[in-house]
Amino acid sequence: MIRHIVFFSARNPADVEAIAAGLRRLGEIPHSDVFEVMTNTKTDPISGEIDVVVYGEFKDAEALAAYKAHPIYSETTAVVRPLRELRISADVVSTLR
């Protein structure tokens, strides 16, 4: 299983909900087994840069590639990219399950 985790920060704090709403559209893409968009509670006293987190689980690399190739993915990128400052992504293979 591949876990896809992406962290976003907003250029403008007023855009956090717009970023989260735009990213939630990715949940319409059928290739993930688990998909969630969450806003950061910012309770960690050391780090508060991240505003929104996307978390997805995919059966394999092919499912993740199909997700990223879906038209909704590029549409979402076009909406969110101008609003975000930072985007950090990690795709990791999990041995759990």
In terms of Cα–Cα distance, which of 64, 57, 73 is closest to 25? 73
Mean pLDDT of the chain: 96
State yes or no: pLDDT of 97 exceeds 80.
Answer: no
Whole-structure pTM value: 0.93
Domains detected in the chain: 2-93 (3.30.70.100)
The model's pLDDT over 32-63, given as tens digits with 9 standing for 90+, comes to 999 999 999 999 989 899 999 999 999 999 99
Report how far residue 85's alpha carbon sits from residue 12's, in angstroms, rounded to the nearest whole number: 8
